[in-house]
Chain A
Amino acid sequence: MFPEAWEFHVAQHLNRGIKALIQSHSEGFDAFSNGLLQFLLSVQSALSTIPWWGYILLIAVMSWFSIRKIVPTIVLSLLPLVIGVFGFWDLAIETLAIVIVSVVISLVLGIPLGVIMAEVKSLGYVIRPILDAMQTMPSFVYLIPAMMLFGLGKVPAILATVIYALPPVIRLTCLGIELVPKPVQEAALAYGATKWQLLKEVRLPLAMPSIMAGINQTTMMALSMVVIASMIGARGLGQEVLLAINRINVGRGFESGISIVIMAIVIDRITQGLAKKLDPVKKH
């Protein structure tokens, strides 16, 4: 047995500290929380104005544009019907809204951070271990800090999702920029490119395939985290899974599980196809 006298708890202090923090900055937290919620709600209401066949059409157009093959396009656009047949259509839209908001926030934070990390080498030594920690930590653990600051609901769910989904886009943006061939950069500099021009004209376009891979990864991770975040009130499809587990209702769990898988497949294929499509280095 571990000596009892050695036991020392930080829990109370942490709880008290967080409480004090929230109380002293309540306005800031409220404003942030409200802003995020507004953003989410506007996305969600925009998504819910689109009729179900609108999504089918949209998926068909996007997958045709990005993949250019008939069979995958048909399969991808018919798959979501299964979600509707199981009666999860509205929940799926709710999940999609949270995923979109989280991904947008992740990209707005992650791409510039990746660029800065590639630019300032010493910053990498600080950020990389943090990213490692973010990726190796069990995803459940993310719920804690988000919940500490914002309680239950959709805002902490988005926050937890962003923390979880952020690393890949940072890493792959940084990697993509580091892999831009040196001779090409040297040529741009020799013709009088400023640092900013070098970034805009050469480094970012050539890093695009890697950045797109990062966006794809981030989207997939956001989707998987949204399911877990239903534990702290993200609702959506994850909630169905949670309920099914709690009630040991295997059938219902299967239905909601399949629906999530379908969402994942459709989003993954389309973003991957777009990544290939948007590769600026033409091979013809």
Chain B
Amino acid sequence: MSDVAIEVKELWKVYSKSKSGKVVLDVDDEELMRSIEVSKEDVVAVRDLSFEVKKGEVFIVMGLSGSGKSTLIRCLIRLVEPSYGNVIINGYDVTAMDKKELTEFRRYQTAMVFQHYGLLPHKNVLDNVAFGLKLRGVPKKERREKAMHALEIVGLEKWINYYPSSLSGGMRQRVGIARALVADPPILLMDEPFSGLDPLIRREMQDELIRIQEEMHKTIFFVTHDLDEAMRLGDRMAVMRDGSIVQIGKPAEIFANPANDYVARFVQDRREEIRKADEQIAAFNAAKDKEVNSDVS
């Protein structure tokens, strides 16, 4: 077995406003490619992406909204149909599957956590978490037991009879994470899971994800627009802009050596903050030293 979990080869996604809505893409047809770039009706959301994600790795895709990161994560399990290219996950060629194979693949190989939770409003917390197992046809008792266990991991075992509408955002996302964990797939796809949460809860959830990852060693494909989040969680990260990856590497490397102005601007604010904080701490320490000295004298 190779150690590659997700392999993306020359992936394109072009949205078209024209009548058919579908684009037949042929990368070798230069004229067609040029016409798509110029056309106002066609929007290139994902542009010729090729990269690999290793097993057990937390891979971050970072970019501003509209950079194509949400489209990319949806292309991986064909919630959005790619226009061209291949996606190979755990050795399965996702792009070559028929409907039945794809359904089966989604049930066992991946689980996804959404920014807007995507919980079922008409099912309680326990049944929401058990939903993936229900789709697989797991008997009721067994799926409830497993769901219960997953809810214990995220600390919601007392909330099983509540409905999503009565939970806070952070709790809803815990349910979303429990739903992903209960399926026990090798790969977790997370589409800005913590973006809608307030900073304290976000931080708490990040810690929790780190803790869960230490136990479970999943491959996590994580999309975010938050540099802090990327730095905290990521083993490797890719920075996207206009559908292309502009830089790929370890977060610290990217932070230290931004490949171009775009990436530099991303990390600049954060650097400023660190510089200011350093200055303030230095000033504070200096003041304290002075105080101590004056006391002594």
Contacts and interface: CB of A to CB of B under 8 A. Distances in A.
B77 interface: yes
A284 B107 CA distance: 31
B114 interface: yes
B118 interface: yes
Contacts of A190: 77, 79, 106, 110-112, 114, 118, 189
Q: Majority SS of interface residues in chain A?
A: helix
Given A186-B79, A202-B120, A192 B135 contact: yes
A193 to B, nearest CB: 5
A60 B157 CA distance: 40
Interface string B97-112: 0000001111110111
B114 A206 contact: no
Interface size band for A: 20 to 34
Contacts of A280: 122
B135 A191 contact: yes
B215 to A, nearest CB: 22
A9 interface: no
Contacts of B165: 281-283
Nearest to A283: B165
A118 to B, nearest CB: 18
A205 B230 CA distance: 38
A188 interface: yes
Most buried by A among B114, B122, B179: B122
B84 interface: no
A197 B135 contact: yes
B103 A192 contact: yes
A171 to B, nearest CB: 22
A98 B121 CA distance: 37
A206 B124 CA distance: 14
B8 interface: no
Interface string A161-190: 000000000000000000000011011111
A194 interface: yes
B221 interface: no
Contacts of A30: none
A283 B118 CA distance: 17
Contacts of B106: 189-192
A90 interface: no
Interface in A178-230: 183-184, 186-194, 197, 201-202, 205-206
Contacts of A202: 120
Contacts of A284: 163, 166
Contacts of B117: 183, 187
A202 B122 CA distance: 8
B154 interface: no
A192 B114 contact: no
A191 B122 contact: no
A187 B114 contact: yes
B119 A184 contact: yes
A204 to B, nearest CB: 10
A184 B136 contact: no
Contacts of A282: 122, 124, 163, 165
A199 to B, nearest CB: 13
Contacts of B118: 183-184, 186-188, 190
Contacts of B136: 192
A187 B131 CA distance: 10
Contact of B121 (A186, A191, A194, A206): A206
B9 interface: no
A191 B163 contact: no
Contacts of B104: 192
A129 to B, nearest CB: 22
A183 B77 CA distance: 15
A186 B103 CA distance: 13
Contacts of B54: none
Nearest to A208: B122
Nearest to B112: A190
Contact of B131 (A191, A194, A283): A191
A206 B163 CA distance: 14
Contacts of B251: none
A281 B132 contact: no
B103 A183 contact: no
A140 to B, nearest CB: 42
Nearest to B179: A191
Nearest to A197: B135
A186 B104 CA distance: 16
Given A186-B79, A188-B131, A281 B121 contact: yes
Task: Please indicate which of the listed interface residues A191, A194, A281 has the most CB atoms of chain B within 10 Å of its own CB.
Answer: A191
Closest 5 CB pairs of A and B: A187-B118, A192-B107, A280-B122, A192-B106, A190-B112
18 contacts: A183-B116, A187-B114, A187-B119, A187-B120, A188-B118, A188-B120, A190-B112, A191-B106, A191-B131, A191-B132, A192-B103, A192-B104, A192-B105, A192-B108, A192-B132, A193-B103, A197-B135, A201-B135
Interface of B: 77, 79, 103-108, 110-112, 114, 116-122, 124, 131-132, 134-136, 163, 165-166, 179, 183, 189
Given A183-B114, A191-B106, 5 more contacts: A186-B118, A187-B120, A205-B122, A280-B122, A281-B121
